[in-house]
A and B are shown apart, each in its own frame.
Chain A
């Protein structure tokens, strides 16, 4: 049975609903010999800021049960070097490319977004208003009014579809998602990491130089799934689910609660074949259930 895996996220068409998450696939070239980009829906680049950022001091990562902590600190080459050094390879990838955009102010977000406009290969922008590892990284993501304002502000400076990557730590995640929709977002990416902490008890010092760090991996999956369910019920734009997705079964859970697509992050580190295996597994599941379009699984959850 031929299963149609294609999804349409408010005009952003993907071969299948599996995207690789920002911060986990670099700018594509890092995994070009390990991931078959022709088999996945697309990638979201590491966040790009107006100027280069060296990132946080090491140690930056620490593994925890069923997950990991990271505090990379938005290390990136800046928009100008992104366009000159990273875009040429991205242009050759046989999948959708979404660029993650970050800044310290609304104008910085908008400046980066505007500079992306000339790059035709970039099909959409994902606003990272949810980085837990830099000061003020989640300012725009915690407050509905601020989220709406920044989306509107960037909206005015780019023609590309805008995805908004949410922080799960907003006091009212649903309100922020609604505000992003009102501001003109095409889709919601839910969600970035939770702030965690790990300590070396021998020294009494933190495992991560930044002290707190974003927590990701299978451990957070039930938390992200619950948020995805709640947000998908509350907004009419597509939701992209992310949080500990490592298998096709995990991806199916997110689709069923209302995600139109998913992003795979930490699981890519654990096994570069995971994203392709998820795509394969989605097809197998649909075939077994005699479902001809994967998109029809969205919101099929029966609580």
Chain B
């Protein structure tokens, strides 16, 4: 467990609606998000006794006083959070999990985010830019222009993302993977991606086929966020069972071992099969 994890009662300072069912939550919690690494997440609990469980969300921005998260309404928890007015107190704990690798000198970094997977890559892009090693490409996608996370944040970083939308309302009409295929991938390139599992499966195939290193941030239903409930398991790939940190293990525990994993470590086809 991360030593700097702690529970806080955060104030929902802004609940911005980007599009129907697509929100940015800005939380005020002094000191809480001080040591967040890109790709790490927090458990955020909707106000009131129901729904019971908190929801895992990756940090989009994090500083001394604030943290922000992108959220898509998919069920009871996100619905309750989408309806919470500014000023609502929210129980949160984090930062949790293992984030993206820090930028490596001499490597060329390509970031790929789809839909609700864009927010953690915004934080990664910010950290890389701050370290003087900005990504060579930032590829982001959404169903439609209004639903795209991180536009303002990337602009502030002076990064110009390559955009794909399902309806062609911004950038190319199609998927982020079509943009990824056009990149100069190969050894020395690090692809870092987050998005829906089918997208990550495609990114995994494209990046590994070209010999690039690839990190994926996955999602799963979580109960606790700290490795106690063992609810968020992801099948380990046949290759990773033989050597490395998951030797002999059938599943990894995503909240502890991830959410960012090396693309060679997970069997996403099996993960899709059981969902």
B244 an interface residue at 8 Å Cβ cutoff?
no
Q: Given A34-B7, A62-B221, A218-B49, do A25 and B228 touch, yes or no (CB 8 Å)?
A: yes
B209 an interface residue at 8 Å Cβ cutoff?
no
Q: Given A29-B1, A72-B231, do A218 and B52 touch, yes or no (CB 8 Å)?
A: yes
Chain A positions within 8 Å of B220 at CB level: 58-59
For residue B47, give the distance in angstroms from its CB to the closest CB of chain A.
12
State how many residues of chain A have any CB contact under 8 Å with chain B.
38
Q: Given A34-B226, A60-B230, A75-B230, do A54 and B7 touch, yes or no (CB 8 Å)?
A: no
Partner among B4, B52, B77, B274 whose Cβ is within 8 Å of the Cβ of A266: B52
List the 7 shortest-distance A-B pairs measured between CB atoms, nearest first. Answer: A61-B231, A54-B250, A26-B228, A30-B228, A58-B233, A269-B224, A269-B223
Does B221 lie within 8 Å of A217, measured CB to CB? no
Q: Given A32-B1, A54-B251, do A60 and B233 touch, yes or no (CB 8 Å)?
A: yes
B229 an interface residue at 8 Å Cβ cutoff?
yes
Does B229 lie within 8 Å of A70, measured CB to CB? yes
Does A272 lie within 8 Å of B76, measured CB to CB? no
Partner among A31, A54, A60, A63 whose Cβ is within 8 Å of the Cβ of B52: A63
16 contacts between A and B (CB under 8 A): A30-B226, A54-B250, A58-B271, A60-B231, A60-B233, A61-B232, A63-B53, A68-B53, A72-B231, A218-B52, A269-B229, A270-B45, A271-B91, A272-B93, A273-B7, A273-B91
Does A33 lie within 8 Å of B274, measured CB to CB? no
User: In the assembly, what is the distance between CA of A273 and CA of B91, in Å?
Assistant: 9
A-B pair count, CB < 8 Å, reads 115
Partner among B3, B91, B221, B227 whose Cβ is within 8 Å of the Cβ of A59: B221
Interface string of A19-36 (1 = CB under 8 A from B): 000011110011111100
Q: Given A29-B1, A68-B53, do A55 and B233 touch, yes or no (CB 8 Å)?
A: yes
User: In the assembly, what is the distance between CA of A269 and CA of B93, in Å?
Assistant: 11
Does A63 lie within 8 Å of B51, measured CB to CB? yes
User: In the assembly, what is the distance between CA of A246 and CA of B221, in Å?
Assistant: 21
Interface string of A153-182 (1 = CB under 8 A from B): 000000000000000000000000000000
Closest to B4 in A: A33
A67 an interface residue at 8 Å Cβ cutoff?
yes
Does B226 lie within 8 Å of A70, measured CB to CB? no
Select the residue from B51, B76, B223 with max chain A CB neighbours within 10 A: B223
B182 an interface residue at 8 Å Cβ cutoff?
no
Binding site for B on A (CB under 8 A): 23-26, 29-34, 46, 54-55, 57-63, 65-68, 70, 72, 75, 209, 217-218, 246, 266, 268-273
Closest to A274 in B: B91
Chain A positions within 8 Å of B93 at CB level: 34, 272
B5 an interface residue at 8 Å Cβ cutoff?
yes
Closest to A60 in B: B231
User: In the assembly, what is the distance between CA of A65 and CA of B48, in Å?
Assistant: 13
Does B45 lie within 8 Å of A26, measured CB to CB? no
Told that A30-B227, A269-B228 touch, could you supply 9 new A-B pairs with CB distance under 8 A? A26-B228, A30-B224, A34-B7, A55-B230, A58-B275, A59-B275, A61-B221, A70-B229, A269-B229
Chain A positions within 8 Å of B4 at CB level: 33
User: In the assembly, what is the distance between CA of A24 and CA of B275, in Å?
Assistant: 24
Interface string of B193-228 (1 = CB under 8 A from A): 000000000000000000000000000111110111
Does B227 lie within 8 Å of A54, measured CB to CB? no
B249 an interface residue at 8 Å Cβ cutoff?
yes
Closest to B55 in A: A63
B54 an interface residue at 8 Å Cβ cutoff?
yes
Does B6 lie within 8 Å of A33, measured CB to CB? yes
Chain A positions within 8 Å of B233 at CB level: 55, 57-58, 60
Does B231 lie within 8 Å of A65, measured CB to CB? no
Does B52 lie within 8 Å of A68, measured CB to CB? yes
Chain B positions within 8 Å of A62 at CB level: 221
Chain B positions within 8 Å of A269 at CB level: 52-54, 223-224, 228-229
Chain A positions within 8 Å of B230 at CB level: 46, 55, 60, 72, 75
Partner among B6, B53, B54, B274 whose Cβ is within 8 Å of the Cβ of A209: B274
User: In the assembly, what is the distance between CA of A23 and CA of B91, in Å?
Assistant: 23
For residue A221, give the distance in angstroms from its CB to the closest CB of chain B.
12
User: In the assembly, what is the distance between CA of A266 and CA of B229, in Å?
Assistant: 9
User: In the assembly, what is the distance between CA of A68 and CA of B233, in Å?
Assistant: 16
For residue A208, give the distance in angstroms from its CB to the closest CB of chain B.
10
User: In the assembly, what is the distance between CA of A246 and CA of B45, in Å?
Assistant: 15
Within 8 A of A (CB), among B113-169: none
User: In the assembly, what is the distance between CA of A97 and CA of B5, in Å?
Assistant: 23
User: In the assembly, what is the distance between CA of A154 and CA of B115, in Å?
Assistant: 54
Chain B positions within 8 Å of A271 at CB level: 7, 45, 54, 91
